[in-house]
Structure 1
Amino acid sequence: MKGATMKTTMEKLGIIASYSRPRVSNDNPFSEALFRTCKYRPDWPTKGFATKDDAQAWVKSFTGWYNEEHLHSAIRFVTPAARHAGHDRATLANRASLYANARSQNPERWSGKTRNWQPAGAVWLNPETEISAPEIRDAA
């Protein structure tokens, strides 16, 4: 990012420019992980998209699946939509009860603790480097 106008615009929007090089381990793991998820979907078009409209339609469908159906391990196997709506707590409480009941009925099947079904805490992208937009403006 050498263009002053682009850099200023990004700062105003609270976007932190990345100066990492390609293939650096911490460059963009989140976008890479999302792209991997895309590529491993059964309906991923291995030969590419015929048109821009086809690509947009596929991404729209993928986004719906990712947010409404895909169970995310980092948030205790609930969907992002359920988490944002606050429905994850009831789901996780039901799972905790189910597991506790199963363990009490068949203790020989359990060698350790049951899975942690407590709601996940705050989820951040790079929390140690997060800088809010007001802090960026103050620093300028």
Structure 2
Amino acid sequence: TRERRRQATHPAKVKPELVADAPSQVWTWDITKLRGPAKGIWYHLYVLIDIYSRYNPGWILAAAEDSVLARDFIDEAIARNGQIPHTVHADRGTSMTSQPVSALLANLGVTRTHSRPRISDDNPFSEAQFKTLKYLHDFPGSFPNLSAARAYCDGFFAEYNHVHRHSGIGWHTPASVHFATTGPIDAARQQTLDTARAAHPERFARRPRPPQIPGHSWINQPTAELQKT
């Protein structure tokens, strides 16, 4: 029948279910457009994010989208990171599914996964960060040139990685989680809480603890796993 032929020609895409319990296990990446100085001029922002630490191991801004540029961008980010991720996830854009990117990841032994068509929830970390960027109070409606756009992004990613304390990772910075420097910070926080409890024990029913980093970070956590948490 026509319906059977349609299903055979367009098989259902698999729902990605990815989990990380440490940095450098699962990265996602995407490309978004930033408006340039005139109609039809766009700058293309390529961004990688680690789903466990929320750290950006790499970003670049270019005048065009290009699969070879995307390949080199990912390759250089992995080299800087000093550790090859197990999985790199992306949507089904042209660069994401391109031969240069696919060949690079295959040569490195990296598992490549993709979102289902038109389902933004399959790449939530990249989507959320782009929304954070574009909803900043000082985000301009357009940039006068590529240099100005790069300068703005440089400030954003420096702040995001090294200053911003993220509620989803125990109010640590992404860089602190990614490079495992949270221990002394948590110890100092615990000392502060213990001092407060000693000074005012009537305010605490039990020993207070600082916020914890979740043990796992998921894309599309299965229902069975949700019930365990």
- TM-score class, shorter-chain normalisation, is 0.5 to 0.7
- Measure, in 2, the Cα distance between the counterparts of 1:54 and 1:91: 35
1 or 2 for the larger relative contact order (CA 8 Å, sep ≥6)? 1
What aligned pairs does 1:12-51 form with structure 2 within 5 A after superposition?
12=106, 14-22=110-118, 24=119, 26-45=121-140, 47-51=141-145
Match of 1:94 in 2: 188
Q: How far apart, in 1, do the equivalents of 2:139 and 2:175 lie?
A: 22
Match for residue 63 of structure 1 among 157, 162, 167 = 157
Q: Give structure 2 stretches of 5+ with no counterpart.
A: 1-91, 222-229
More helix by share: 1
Could you tell me how far apart the structure 2 residues matched to 1:83 and 1:4 are?
31
Amino acid at match of 2:114: S
Matched residue pairs, number?
126
Change (3 A) 1:90 1:57: same
Cα contact 1:68–1:81 (8 A) shared by 2: yes
Q: TM-score, normalised by structure 2?
A: 0.44
TM-score after normalising by structure 1:
0.67
The CA RMSD measured in Å over matched residues stands at 3.4
Q: 6-15 or 51-60: which moved more?
A: 6-15
- CA shift in 2, pair 1:38/1:7, >3 Å: closer
Q: Which structure dedicates a bigger proportion of its chain to strand?
A: 2
List gaps (5 residues or longer) in structure 1.
129-140
Moved >6 Å (runs of 4+): none
1:89 is matched by which residue type in structure 2? G
- Mapped to 2, the partners of 1:85 and 1:6 lie a distance apart of 29
